[in-house]
Structure 1
């Protein structure tokens, strides 16, 4: 079983969208969750994130979760949305460097552009752009995980 944990800041935009996208693939042997490094537990996904997911026939019953040691221990892989998120995690849990990557770093091995734009507070179109970027990255992620 491969356990994927997506992490962003508040767990209301990027990581819930990434979670929903990967879950929508219905891949046997892959479990997925999301959390936030500064999340307030129990919040709904942002309205625009939910709209964009619904437009793409994806629904993820979501409540935000603050990243915990239990999440870290559960995960086979931890994929962050930015280098900043990755640094926060590794400063607290340095022993998990082998399983913690930015999503872009893992699928594209890009040394310079490793952050996924945060649409928080922006217009719906910005959420669509972020969704499309995440969707493309997750298609590549699935290929890598199956290798």
Structure 2
């Protein structure tokens, strides 16, 4: 059975969607990722979507959603990817390990910043998620 990880940030429009897509593509045999926002924007950042499509990571099911839609999901790990989400992460119905790995928000910056953020997530976030969920 796959382990479940929630990637949480403020708006769920860029970093958390990118991390969700990356994990689901690279670790799909053992881990299923979802993402949400503390205050979801309701839209996926167009540059983030374009990058994910270019890399072949995009899936039509990805969309910006509020935390309330996933509160009852039994996650094995929660990863906050922005400081605001770390500070405002809600309590989940059952105890779940939560870690913070902050990434700068590329929103509003040149396309290369999105690529750098995704590369950084692949180098830093993937090994940690894999270690946390697959070490047992």
TM-score of Structure 1 vs Structure 2, range by shorter chain: 0.7 to 0.9
Q: Which structure 1 segments of 5+ residues have no match? A: 105-114
State the match for 1:34 in structure 2.
Answer: 35
State the match for 1:66 in structure 2.
Answer: 66
- How far off its partner does 1:48 sit? 0.8
State the match for 2:51 in structure 1.
Answer: 52
State the match for 1:136 in structure 2.
Answer: 123
Are 2:91 and 1:93 equivalent residues in the alignment? yes
Deviations along 1:1-40, one digit per CA (max 9) or x if unpaired, are 3111001111110000001001112533422110011113
The correspondence of residues 97-108 of structure 1 with structure 2, limited to 5 A, is 98-102=96-100, 104=101
State the match for 2:26 in structure 1.
Answer: 25
Question: 1:132 and 1:98 mapped to 2: Cα distance?
Answer: 27
Runs (4 or more) in structure 1 with deviation over 4 Å come to 94-98
- How far off its partner does 1:96 sit? 6.4
RMSD, aligned CA: 2.1
What TM-score do you get using the length of structure 2 for normalisation?
Answer: 0.83
Aligned length: 131
* Larger deviation, residues 7-16 vs 70-79: 70-79
State the match for 2:77 in structure 1.
Answer: 77
Q: SS state of the match for residue 49, structure 2?
A: helix
Q: SS state of the match for residue 7, structure 2?
A: strand
Q: Which structure 2 segments of 5+ residues have no match? A: none
Gap change, CA 1:58 and 1:98, over 3 Å in 2: closer
